[in-house]
Amino acid sequence: MKLSARNVLAGKVVEVVLGTTTAHVRIDIGGGAIVTSSITNEAVADLDLKVGDAVSAIVKSSDVIVGK
């Protein structure tokens, strides 16, 4: 499935932390950059996310703020 989101950044899961309903997943996208995503615990189970998994960090362009 191709996505309209302009940012599909390939990377590797380096950490998964489960909360009561919300989990935090950290993804190494290379170049020294680590991206953090907060998703539902259900999504972690649904995607069977584990450290080492090859994943994409997906972000809509309207959700990116520029700082200068």
Between CA 7 and CA 65 the distance in angstroms is 13
Using the rule CB under 8 A, is 51 a contact of a second copy? no
Using the rule CB under 8 A, is 52 a contact of a second copy? no
Residue 32 C-beta: closest distance to a second copy, Å: 7
Lay out the site mask for a second copy across 27-46 (x = CB under 8 A, - = otherwise). x-xxxxx-xxxxxx-xxx-x
DSSP designation for 32: T
Using the rule CB under 8 A, is 15 a contact of a second copy? no
CA distances from 3 to 7, 9, 52, 54 (A): 9, 12, 24, 18
